[in-house]
């Protein structure tokens, strides 16, 4: 039924979440659970890899909005990388690039995390 | 109707009686005739004092056989449809037998000279066996008929008892017994009265005795007797057996007690019949004896059996009852009290998890003869339910005070405990506890009875829940349809008719209610505002924010000079109420009819499509965050505004993501390009034409797919303004209300 899944990886101190499939109102809860898990494990440097994310609905975007404030308050960030063009368009239409670091590649995003750490 | 039935009823029953009685009358006449002919033979023999010739004797035998055969058939027919209770059968047979034997006894004593120490015989010639006087013949015939009648009655009545709960085998055994009895009788045809029996005859007799014994153990009727009936039947059997032994005797030891020379008279009448009567009485004695013994052994268990039957009947009726109750409280109380009501337990209670408290731990929902506090003092119900689940069977604790899982001390009125599961659709929904004051109080059949009841109770609980869910579902459906109606009224009921500008709009919700919004507003100086919005997510929560958005639009739009200012105010207002994960995308356009301009600002919404008469087409993708995404200055800073100078033929299409994200059966999205092409192809139509062209294109594209998102489409077309039309506006939404 659910055609969405979240894979967990780490790169240094960055927690990487690989999103697969379609993120909509039905599957949003899975991403919520994934981010909550990261928070519980104190992994607040979260990188969303969207290379396998085929679709995102407004409810899916809402998940990022729901947690970004908390994550930033606890010193971390949610960065988004490697979105497919169509999915990026949805982020872009709503102005998400103004609110989130949305990078073309995962490496860039990891780099950005380490820059922030260096500061 | 009533008169008709009064007329037909007698004739019908008369015909029925005739068809039923007809053969019986025939048998009666046949019997009487044969008996008369038989007497004739004896009379002839007496008057000539010479034994019958072999031919005549065979003739006599044939006539007598036919005569008594008719009598047998007569009785058989008479008793065929009788369904008497065992006690009544025995009782009536005993009375009839007593009367018949008494008559025979009296007859046997008429004209008899009792001389002590002198045997005068029965009045037959000792050598020829011929009656010496005519009254002897009469005596012989009367006594024989009475005895044979009794024997036939006995067999016919006992048949009813033997064949209770008949099977093919029992029916066959009975018939075989009758057959072997008849055969044994027939073999004695040539015997002279009073003579001993040959080896063959004894062997035949042995065979029929075997079958008598077999049939004597057919005593199923005993099971259905109540304790009192059993007692009475025991007495009857004893009396009957004694009576038979005294009247017929075993090997003629006491045969002269009632009917003096009964057997002798019979043998002189017709030897095979005498043999038959002897066997019948033997069977009677056997059957009564086995019945007597069997009853005697059944008696002690009879009380228990009745109690069990009573418990079961009560459980059954309670199980039936719980099937009728839909109110949860009453249902639980009925189930919890059932083991006590049925007499299977001294106290009982029902435990279930409480889903409303979110706990899966079983706790007492209803109890009988014991308070919930007392239960929790003595028993950890949840723990026992877990144990029962683990072992997969009802849990029986034989000695509660000695069990470490319980907190029971001797004197706590809880000697033994039984836990049975309540399972509905393969899921444990609870457990029924029953306790008895005595130790080892629960036997196997108690467990079975309560388990069966528990199974029925589970179904009842499940049904009640389904019923409740159904009611709840219907209530929700009703609420939602009301919500849908309310929401429909939040959208414009008609599109304003403006000079030079044609508009068309529609909105479809994927569910009963949705988060899409569009609206029109008349501003001052021939300016009109058009808004489209899309709340993130779907369904009820989206619908509430949509309603809030409408409120903001209706109140703020007239105060805002530009689209950016309106959107900024809207963002400020929404920031206070929107959930963190909810946002609204929107586009607000202000059309100035007088100056022929269109100002547009986009707050994260799908960009409006703009197509000119020349075919030049583009999306108006000005920058702007969705409403609610930023609650500070960023929103206003990010917001761009574009002004377009209207040219006749300009088409603007506003839509929600449901339109461009609609998929065909192959999973392909309708997309922005297809939308733009469709608009371009239909740009010469007016707003209505373009609107329906896009919708039908979308419908063709989707095929049989269902809408899974809210879809809203608003089309504006600027036709150019005739100078004379710059008069007061024709009608607007606000006025139409």
Residue B707 has pLDDT above 90, yes or no: no
**What's the pLDDT at B491?**
94
Name the percent of chain B lying above pLDDT 90: 34
Residue B734 has pLDDT above 50, yes or no: no
ipTM: 0.93
Tell which of A24, A26, A28, A58 to mutate to test the B interface (max B CBs under 10 Å): A58
CATH number at residue A92: 3.30.750.24
**Nearest in space to B225 (alpha carbons), one of B364, B85, B329:** B85
Cβ A98–B630 below 8 Å, yes or no? yes
Nearest CB neighbour to A94, from listed B581, B626, B634: B626
Q: In this structure, what token pair is assigned to residue B576?
A: 């206070």
Residue B445 has pLDDT above 50, yes or no: yes
Contacts of A33 (CB under 8 A, 6+ apart): none
- State the nearest Cα–Cα gap between B166 and chain A, in angstroms: 60
Tell me whether A34 touches chain B (CB under 8 Å).
no
- Span B199-220, average pLDDT: 88
Give B536's contacts in chain A (Cβ within 8 Å).
57-59, 61-62
Give B675's contacts in chain A (Cβ within 8 Å).
none
Residue B9 has pLDDT above 50, yes or no: no
- State the nearest Cα–Cα gap between A61 and chain B, in angstroms: 8
- State the nearest Cα–Cα gap between B604 and chain A, in angstroms: 4
Give B575's contacts in chain A (Cβ within 8 Å).
none
Residues spanned by the domain of A98: 4-118
What are the CA-CA distances from residue B701 to residues B510, B579, B654, B691, B696 (Å)? 17, 35, 19, 15, 8
Least confident range of B152-156, B227-231, B576-580: B227-231
Q: In this structure, what token pair is assigned to residue B538?
A: 């779907």
What average pLDDT does chain B have?
85
Cβ B625–A99 below 8 Å, yes or no? yes
**What's the pLDDT at B725?**
52
Give B674's contacts in chain A (Cβ within 8 Å).
none
Which backbone phi and psi does B425 adopt, to 5 degrees?
A: 45, 50
Cβ A59–B538 below 8 Å, yes or no? yes
- What would the pLDDT profile of B283-298 be if each residue is shown by its tens digit? 998 999 999 988 888 8
Tell which of B513, B604, B624 to mutate to test the A interface (max A CBs under 10 Å): B604
Q: Which residue has the higher pLDDT, B688 or B511?
A: B688
Cβ B582–A62 below 8 Å, yes or no? yes
Tell me whether A66 touches chain B (CB under 8 Å).
yes
- What would the pLDDT profile of B123-157 be if each residue is shown by its tens digit? 676 666 677 777 888 888 888 898 899 999 999 88
Residue B651 has pLDDT above 70, yes or no: yes
Residue B527 has pLDDT above 80, yes or no: yes
Q: In this structure, what token pair is assigned to residue B401?
A: 């005070």
Nearest CB neighbour to A61, from listed B535, B536, B669: B536
Name the percent of chain A lying above pLDDT 90: 78
Domain count, chain A: 1
Cβ A59–B625 below 8 Å, yes or no? no
* DSSP string for B663-719: B-TTS-B-HHHHHHHHHHHTTTS-HHHHHHHHHHHHHHHHTTPPP-S-EEEEEEEE-
Tell which of A22, A29, A65 to mutate to test the B interface (max B CBs under 10 Å): A65
Please state the three-class secondary structure of B120-174 as a single string: CCCCECCCCCCECCHHHHHHHHHHHHHHHHHHHHHHHHHHHHHCCCCCHHHHHHH
Q: Which residue has the higher pLDDT, B355 or B154?
A: B154
- What would the pLDDT profile of B629-647 be if each residue is shown by its tens digit? 998 889 999 999 999 999 9
């Amino acid at each position: 039924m659910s055609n969405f899944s979240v894979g967990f990886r780490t790169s240094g101190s960055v927690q990487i979440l690989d999103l697969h499939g379609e993120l909509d109102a039905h599957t949003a809860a899975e991403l919520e659970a994934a981010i909550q898990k990261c928070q519980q494990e104190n992994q607040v440097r979260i990188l969303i890899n969207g290379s396998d994310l085929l679709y995102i609905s407004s409810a899916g975007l809402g998940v990022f909005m729901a947690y970004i404030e908390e994550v930033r308050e606890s010193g971390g960030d949610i960065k988004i990388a490697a979105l497919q063009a169509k999915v990026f368009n949805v982020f872009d239409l709503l102005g998400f690039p103004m609110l989130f670091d949305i990078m073309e590649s995962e490496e860039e995003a990891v780099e950005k995390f380490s820059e922030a750490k260096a500061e | 109707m009533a008169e008709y039935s009064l007329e037909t009823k007698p004739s019908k029953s008369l015909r029925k009686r005739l068809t039923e009685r007809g053969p019986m009358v025939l048998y009666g006449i046949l019997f009487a005739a044969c008996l008369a002919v038989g007497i004739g033979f004896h009379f002839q023999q007496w008057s000539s004092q010479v034994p019958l010739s072999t031919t005549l004797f065979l003739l006599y035998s044939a006539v007598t056989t036919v005569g008594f055969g008719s009598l047998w058939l007569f009785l058989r027919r008479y008793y065929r449809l009788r369904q008497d209770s065992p006690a009544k059968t025995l009782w009536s047979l005993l009375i009839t037998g007593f009367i018949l034997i008494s008559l025979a006894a009296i007859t046997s004593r008429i004209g008899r000279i009792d001389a002590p120490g002198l045997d005068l015989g029965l009045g037959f010639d000792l050598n020829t066996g011929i009656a010496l006087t005519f009254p002897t013949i009469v005596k012989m015939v009367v006594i024989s008929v009475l005895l044979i009648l009794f024997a036939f009655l006995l067999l016919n009545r006992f048949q009813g008892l033997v064949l209770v709960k008949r099977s093919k085998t029992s029916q066959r055994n009975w018939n075989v017994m009758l057959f072997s009895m008849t055969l044994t009788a027939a073999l004695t045809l040539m015997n002279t009265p009073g003579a001993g029996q040959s080896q063959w005859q004894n062997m035949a007799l042995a065979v029929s005795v075997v079958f008598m014994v077999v049939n004597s153990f057919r005593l199923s009727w005993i099971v259905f007797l109540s304790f009192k009936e059993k007692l009475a039947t025991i007495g009857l059997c004893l009396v009957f057996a004694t009576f038979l032994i005294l009247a017929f005797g075993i090997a003629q030891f006491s045969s002269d007690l009632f009917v003096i020379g009964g057997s002798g008279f019979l043998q002189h009448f017709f030897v095979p019949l005498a043999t038959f009567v002897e066997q019948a009485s033997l069977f009677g004695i056997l059957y009564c004896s086995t019945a007597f013994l069997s009853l005697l052994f059944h008696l002690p268990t009879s009380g228990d059996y009745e109690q069990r039957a009573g418990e079961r009947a009560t459980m059954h009726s309670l199980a039936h009852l719980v099937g009728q109750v839909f109110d949860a409280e009453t249902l639980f109380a009925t189930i919890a009290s059932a083991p006590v009501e049925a007499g299977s337990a001294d106290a009982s209670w029902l435990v279930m998890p409480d889903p409303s408290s979110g706990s899966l731990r079983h706790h007492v929902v209803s109890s009988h003869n014991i308070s919930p506090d007392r239960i929790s003092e003595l028993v950890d119900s949840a723990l026992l339910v877990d144990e029962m689940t683990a072992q997969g069977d009802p849990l029986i604790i034989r000695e509660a005070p000695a069990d470490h899982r319980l907190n029971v001390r001797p004197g706590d009125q809880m000697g033994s405990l039984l836990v049975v599961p309540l399972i509905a659709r393969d899921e444990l929904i609870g457990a029924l506890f029953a306790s008895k004051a005595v130790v080892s109080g629960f036997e196997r059949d108690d467990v079975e009875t309560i388990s069966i009841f528990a199974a029925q109770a589970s179904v009842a609980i499940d049904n009640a829940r389904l019923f409740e869910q159904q009611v709840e579902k219907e209530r929700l459906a009703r609420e939602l349809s009301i919500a849908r109606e309310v929401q429909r009224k939040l959208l414009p009921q008609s599109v304003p008719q403006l000079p030079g500008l044609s508009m068309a709009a529609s909105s479809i919700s994927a569910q009963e209610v949705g988060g899409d919004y569009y609206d029109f507003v008349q501003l001052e100086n021939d300016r009109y505002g058009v808004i489209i919005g899309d709340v993130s997510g779907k369904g009820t929560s989206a619908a509430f924010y949509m309603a809030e958005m409408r409120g903001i639009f209706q109140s703020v739009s007239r105060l805002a000079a530009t689209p950016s200012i309106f959107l900024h105010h809207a963002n400020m207002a929404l920031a206070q109420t929107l959930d963190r994960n909810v946002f609204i995308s929107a586009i607000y356009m202000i059309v100035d009819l007088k100056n022929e301009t269109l100002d547009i600002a986009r707050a994260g919404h799908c960009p409006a499509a703009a197509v000119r008469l020349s075919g030049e087409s583009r999306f108006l993708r000005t920058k702007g965050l969705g409403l609610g995404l930023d609650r500070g200055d960023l929103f206003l800073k990010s917001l761009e505004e574009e002004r377009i100078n209207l040219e006749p033929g300009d088409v603007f299409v506003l839509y929600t993501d449901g339109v461009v994200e609609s998929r065909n059966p192959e999973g392909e999205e309708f997309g922005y390009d297809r939308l733009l092409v469709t608009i371009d192809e239909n740009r010469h139509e007016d707003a209505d034409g373009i609107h329906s062209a896009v919708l039908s294109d979308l419908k063709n594209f989707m095929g049989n797919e269902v809408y899974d998102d809210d879809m809203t489409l608003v089309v504006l077309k600027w036709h150019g303004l005739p100078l004379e039309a710059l008069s007061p506006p024709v009608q607007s939404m606000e006025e139409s209300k």
